Amino acid sequence: MKKSISLLLFGLMFISLGALQAEPASLRQTTDLAADAAIAKRAGVPLMLIFSADNCIYCQRLESEVLNPGIASGQFDNRVLMRYLNIDAGGKINDFDGSRIRNRLFVSRYEVFA
C-alpha cells in the first residue's frame, strides 16, 4: 500500500513538473532566417515571416487573437512555419543566405514599416 502511494505521488510530481516546464505554444521570434528556412524546407511547408513593431497595437492584436490561438490549437501544424521579426530590434540577424545583416537593413530591403 505504501509503495502504491509513493508511486502515485511520484507520478503526480513528475506530471506536475512537466506541466510547469512545458512552453506555451505561441509565435516565435526569429534571428536566424537561414535556419528557419531550412526547417520549413525539410518539413515541406512555407515559411511565413511576420514583421512586428514594439508599439504596433495591430501587430499585438493579430498575435494574441489570431496567431497564438491558431498555433495553440494546432491549426497551422504541418501547414506553415511561422516566425516573427521585430522591426524595432537592433543588432544583427542571419539572412536567408546565412550572412549576418543588420536588422534595420533587412527590414528596409523589404520596405517594411509600422
pLDDT tens-digit map of 58-97: 999 999 999 999 999 999 999 999 999 999 998 999 999 9
The parent domain of residue 60 ranges over 28-110
Provide the β-strand partners of residue 92: 102
Q: Is residue 43 part of a domain?
A: yes
- 36 domain residue, yes or no: yes
Q: What is the pTM of this model?
A: 0.72
Distance CA 110, CA 55 (A): 20
- Percent helix, strand and coil across the chain, each to the nearest 5: 50, 20, 35
- The bridge status of strand 47-52 relative to strand 81-86 is parallel
Determine, yes or no, domain membership for 74: yes
Whether 45 is in a domain gets the answer: yes
| Burial degree of 19 (CB within 10 A; 0-12, 13-18, 19+) | exposed
If one counts the domains in the chain, the total is: 1
The predicted pLDDT at position 24 comes to 55
In this structure, is residue 79 part of a structural domain?
A: yes
Please report, as a single letter, which amino acid is at residue 76.
Answer: F
